[in-house]
Amino acid sequence: RGPPHRPAEQPVPGTTSPPSRAARPGNHLSPSGPGKRTASLSYPGTSGWRISELITRGPRGNWFNMEHVTSAARAEIKQRGVCFANTDATPAVVKTGKRQTPFRQSSAIRKIPRTDLPVENAEQIAALLQKQWRLYHLTPLYRFSYTMLKKYSNELSVFIATEQKRGVAIEVGIELASKAKFSMLAGLRATENDPEAVSIQITTKTSVHQAVAEKVVWSGWMCCVDGDLGFLESLPVEFICLPLLFANGPETVTTMVGEWLQKTFDCYISAFPISSENLTWMAAMWANCFSDSVHRVMELEWSVPPVQLTISLSIHPEDAKALWDSIHEDEDEITIDEVELFMSCLHSHFYRHFGVRLAATQLVKVSTAVASAHCDGKLKLFNSKHIDHVLPFLTELAFHQIQYQPRLCNSLD
């Protein structure tokens, strides 16, 4: 753990020491409401220090860029933990996420998607962007047929009308009849073995200045992108697997649609929370994906369970990409070791500035130029170009839920 006394830090030849905490742009710790504090760190990228230049310390406290770290050094970092700057005589050591979270319960290696969605489907894909979706799991649908979508539309419309007569409100101020519509979301699949995605839309007529207008009060879609081939081939022909349900609209309508799907296709639907482990994978996989026209800042949020505290970290997308590129080696796959090292470096950087050990907190939100995901199952898509980096990963998690937890709850909690 080093000698009891360390000499003053000296920069590596050819480099300069980083500016003090107070001099760096974007460093602040400010309250965000009564009883709740938010610590945030922001690097605009156009000014100040790049995060990739501040992320790791050498054995004698010198600063150096991650691109100069050898494979042997990376292995030692993962084995011994990340050494942070500290004013104490003995340097503080915080172990990597491997000891804090159950990463080994899921895949240790994941392939990088290489699927390009069809150009002719751009308009339909664009309709899925910039909306707050709530995720749900679905077990395989029994006797679902793409040739009977019109029949399903009529049946769901009747079911909703029946629920309205029982006193279930669709939306405040809406009292007229509602109409459901099923349609195919063509092209939203990675392989020929994936079933075509299905879109569901609930519209209702509203009175505006003595005129009747249609309004979309709820929308949703079911899909399977790059699904488990072995699982799909093992299904009986009577079943179709669309394990992901995205819902946008009032919870009462989501409940009605879910109940109808469960009764009609003998399936189970449950909420789809996203674990801190899977959010970490998302942060790493999406770090080097951003649009050439929109440079959305990468944001991470952690929650401190014992107290009402939310900690946020904002990183310029080019800085996040530079850090990931210095860690990532294989262009075709991502390993758990790379994901752990990526997050450990961010933990090290944050501790150096604020003295907060993020390894003791829980990651609850990840937002990049690709998408924004929250631990409670909320998802917002930003970029259609990289939507194939989002849906295959969510499909994999949904298949894992189906195979290892078949008794999903039969209600939408």
Distance in angstroms (rounded) separating the CA atoms of residues 47 and 284: 24
Cβ-contact 375, 283 below 8 angstroms: no
Domain interval for residue 174? 122-272+399-403
* pLDDT exceeds cutoff 90 at 103: no
235 domain residue, yes or no: yes
Supply the angle between the helices 336-354 and 71-80 in degrees, to the nearest 10. 70
Cβ-contact 152, 264 below 8 angstroms: yes
Looking at per-residue pLDDT, the higher value among 234 and 64 belongs to 234
Report the range out of 147-156, 185-194, 290-299 with the highest average pLDDT. 147-156
The secondary structure of residue 337, as a DSSP letter, is H
> Nearest Cα to 279, choosing from 300, 306, 248, 305?
300
Question: What are φ and ψ of residue 89, in 5° steps?
Answer: -65, -40
Which pLDDT does position 404 carry in this prediction?
Answer: 53
300 and 260 assigned to the same domain: no
The continuous run of DSSP H or E covering 350 comes out as: helix 336-354
263 and 338 assigned to the same domain: no
164 and 281 assigned to the same domain: no
Which pLDDT does position 44 carry in this prediction?
Answer: 39
Cβ-contact 50, 43 below 8 angstroms: yes
Q: And the tokens for 196?
A: 């075509």
307 domain residue, yes or no: yes
220 and 319 assigned to the same domain: no
Strands (E) across 151-196 are located at 178-185
117 domain residue, yes or no: no
369 and 278 assigned to the same domain: yes
Angle at 251 between CA 245 and CA 256, to 5 degrees: 70
Average pLDDT estimate for 389-412: 71
Which pLDDT does position 317 carry in this prediction?
Answer: 87
Average pLDDT estimate for 49-55: 36
* pLDDT exceeds cutoff 90 at 153: yes
Q: Is the dihedral of CA 119, 124, 129, 135 positive or negative?
A: negative
By mean pLDDT, which of 52-56, 66-70, 182-186 is the weakest?
A: 52-56
The continuous run of DSSP H or E covering 251 comes out as: helix 251-265
Contacts of 136 (CB under 8 A, 6+ apart): 244, 245, 246, 247, 258, 269, 270, 271, 272, 377, 412
284 and 348 assigned to the same domain: yes
Length of the chain, please?
A: 413
Which pLDDT does position 115 carry in this prediction?
Answer: 54
DSSP calls for 109-163:
EEEPP-----GGGHHHHHTTTT--EEEEEEPPEET--GGGHHHHHHHHHHHHHHH
Q: How far from 186 is each of 126, 189, 195, 382, CA to CA, in Å? A: 13, 8, 10, 20
What's the number of domains the chain is made of? Answer: 2
Looking at per-residue pLDDT, the higher value among 359 and 46 belongs to 359
205 domain residue, yes or no: yes
Which pLDDT does position 388 carry in this prediction?
Answer: 81
* pLDDT exceeds cutoff 90 at 45: no
226 domain residue, yes or no: yes
Distance in angstroms (rounded) separating the CA atoms of residues 262 and 269: 7
161 and 263 assigned to the same domain: yes
137 domain residue, yes or no: yes
Confidence of residue 341 (pLDDT cuts 50, 70, 90): very high
Q: And the tokens for 134?
A: 């709530």
Confidence of residue 40 (pLDDT cuts 50, 70, 90): very low
247 domain residue, yes or no: yes
| 334: exposed, middle or buried (Cβ count in 10 Å: 0-12, 13-18, 19+) | buried
183 domain residue, yes or no: yes
Which pLDDT does position 400 carry in this prediction?
Answer: 86
By mean pLDDT, which of 5-14, 71-80, 336-345 is the weakest?
A: 5-14
Contacts of 23 (CB under 8 A, 6+ apart): none
Report how far Cα 184 is from the mean position of its chain's Cα atoms: 25
237 and 287 assigned to the same domain: no
310 and 185 assigned to the same domain: no
Residue type, 115: T
Model pTM?
A: 0.72
152 and 245 assigned to the same domain: yes
Q: Is residue 366 classed as helix, strand or coil in its secondary structure? A: strand
Q: What is the mean pLDDT of the chain?
A: 74
221 and 330 assigned to the same domain: no
pLDDT tens profile 211-249: 667 889 999 999 999 888 889 999 999 999 999 999 999
Which pLDDT does position 305 carry in this prediction?
Answer: 81
* pLDDT exceeds cutoff 60 at 295: yes
pLDDT above 90: percentage of residues in the chain: 40
Cβ-contact 405, 293 below 8 angstroms: no
Looking at per-residue pLDDT, the higher value among 127 and 7 belongs to 127
Cβ-contact 171, 217 below 8 angstroms: yes
pLDDT tens profile 252-289: 999 999 999 999 999 999 999 999 999 999 999 888 77
126 and 229 assigned to the same domain: yes
